[in-house]
A and B are shown apart, each in its own frame.
Chain A
Amino acid sequence: MAKYLLLKHYRGNPAAVNDVPMDQWTPEEVSAHIKYMNDFAKRLEGTGEYVDGQALSPEGTFVRYDGEGRPPITDGPFAETKDLIAGWMVIDVDSYERAVELAGELSAAPGAGGKPIHEWLELRPFLHAPPTITE
């Protein structure tokens, strides 16, 4: 088994095919989308491939150490920052091919007009612990 992180972006990913802001959909399309996402997570729990998932608020802050005895510096949010994560899902699957297949399904979630959004999701493999057998 291998764990993968599926990242959904507010921005920083290439534009989706069906790229319409959600508040411009009909309420029924919004509901259908949410149902699709919930069903997807439930189905992965059922297949034993779901690990975790969370949504993130778009508002964040950059923080860094500012030297001994000083409080950390906070800054942002930076409007010019290209990448903004909207949420993630961690899956534990048998192969890279399976991870791609699932990401594709998630990207097919319905959007405006009830048609798939074709949203670009980022798929990142986890770095695992070293295996016991190495030769």
Chain B
Amino acid sequence: MTPDVDEALLRSLTPTVIGVLVRRGADFAAAEDAVQDALVEAVRVWPDEPPRDPKGWLVTVAWRKFLDAARADTSRRRREDEVEREPAPGPAEATDDTLRLYFLCAHPSLTPASAVALTLRAVGGLTTRQIAQAYLVPEATMAQRISRAKKTVSGVRLNEPGDVGTVLRVLYLVFNEGYSGDVDLAAEAIRLTRQLAAMTPHEEVAGLLVLMLLHNARRPARTRADGSLVPLAEQDRGLWDTAAIAEGVHILQAALARDRLGEFQAQAAIAALHADAQAAAETDWVQIVEWYDELLALNDNPVARLNRAVAVGEADGPRAGLAALAKLDPALPRHTAAAAYLHERAGDPATAARLYAEAARSAPNLAERDHLTRQAARLNATLRA
């Protein structure tokens, strides 16, 4: 989209306008198409003729696009008549509409990849091209994925209640995809989660929002100029976004005070303890271990156990960490990397170097592979000297 148009405004209005069209009787798939067409028209027209009422403009144009499409489709003649007879909408319950759209786009009948794509388009207002670029797939592929997703949920009524947990999992996936392309998916996930948090008082929505805010706050310190990873302990904490951290901690405290703990709140609490330390050495590892115990009590899973073992290594020493690690499946992702780290701290650089090299071979991404290779190289260089 061109910079002449307030893209943020357009995108924030997208789910509301879809909601209005659906309320007027359009089915979701047709409403979504019509709103995308209206967005394209807005980008073309608004620079020269900025609307006084952007939302009203979008509703009018999207509705016209919808009617045009319905008329063009003679096989839908009957439904078009129904639509024409539809009474004018009452006072719009925009919040409820938008919330239902979140549920629909994260519907359990959708695969994770489909739910992510549909959420980014219908709730996030991104174009198919932008989503395709963000996920490094051809635009035609993404268009098909979205089209099939819309078919899958076409039988779902928009007023059906949904499970907020499914929505949170989708938003978490979007956030975790990071920021490789032109579209900043992490920032987009934060925007959508923030919007969701404003509509529902659910503690886990707050928990996920905080988790995102705190991890995103570290982003400027996470990579060097050449793209290489900087481990948490070595990050320049002066680069962390203190305003985002303060906001996150504030939201987290309010959520935790309601005493309905969930996994995202527990993970956010761990992130908050890291954010709270002025230097890596000041990290309250004992409390972090306690939070991992809370997390495991909520949902016992091997990844959390692995992270807990590393935290134990900091709280009680590397030997204790290695003992905790020894109880876990060595095939777990990052198990070897964690073992390498703890062996180095335990004063065994030769084993650590061997394990770092081994971990590099099974690294899940290039940045981690390069980082682990450098660690092995660093230790081998000192061993040679």
Contact = CB atoms under 8 A, between A and B. Distances in A.
Interface of A: 21-27, 29-31, 34-35, 38, 55, 57-59
B374 A31 contact: yes
A59 B362 CA distance: 7
Contacts of B353: 23
Contact of B377 (A27, A35, A55): A27
B377 A29 contact: yes
A23 B362 contact: no
B376 interface: yes
A27 to B, nearest CB: 5
Interface of B: 226-228, 353, 356-357, 360-362, 364, 366, 369-370, 373-374, 376-378, 380-381
B362 A34 contact: no
A27 B226 contact: no
A40 to B, nearest CB: 14
A119 B244 CA distance: 47
A38 B377 contact: no
B366 A55 contact: yes
13 contacts: A22-B360, A23-B357, A23-B360, A23-B373, A24-B377, A26-B377, A26-B381, A27-B374, A29-B377, A31-B226, A38-B226, A57-B364, A58-B361
Contact of A24 (B228, B360, B374, B380): B380
A25 B226 contact: no
A22 B360 CA distance: 10
A84 B309 CA distance: 34
B227 A23 contact: no
Contacts of B369: 55
A5 B227 CA distance: 26
A38 B227 contact: yes
Nearest to A26: B381
B365 to A, nearest CB: 9
Contact of B378 (A21, A22, A27, A57): A27
A90 to B, nearest CB: 14
A31 B378 contact: no
A106 B381 CA distance: 26
A87 to B, nearest CB: 9
A24 to B, nearest CB: 6
A57 B362 contact: yes
Given A34-B370, A55-B366, A27 B361 contact: no
Nearest to B353: A23
Residue with the greatest number of chain B CB neighbours at <10 A, chosen from A21, A26, A27, A38 = A27
Contacts of B227: 38
A135 to B, nearest CB: 34
Contacts of A55: 366, 369
Nearest to A59: B362
A35 B370 CA distance: 11
A4 to B, nearest CB: 21
A55 B376 CA distance: 20
B380 A23 contact: yes
Contacts of B374: 27, 30-31
A22 B372 CA distance: 11
A58 B360 CA distance: 10
A84 B381 CA distance: 28
B382 to A, nearest CB: 10
A31 B228 contact: yes
A20 to B, nearest CB: 11
Given A22-B373, A23-B356, A27-B374, 19 more contacts: A21-B357, A22-B360, A22-B377, A23-B376, A24-B377, A25-B377, A26-B377, A27-B377, A30-B370, A30-B374, A31-B226, A31-B228, A31-B374, A34-B226, A34-B370, A38-B226, A38-B227, A55-B369, A57-B362
A35 B356 contact: no
Contacts of A26: 377, 381
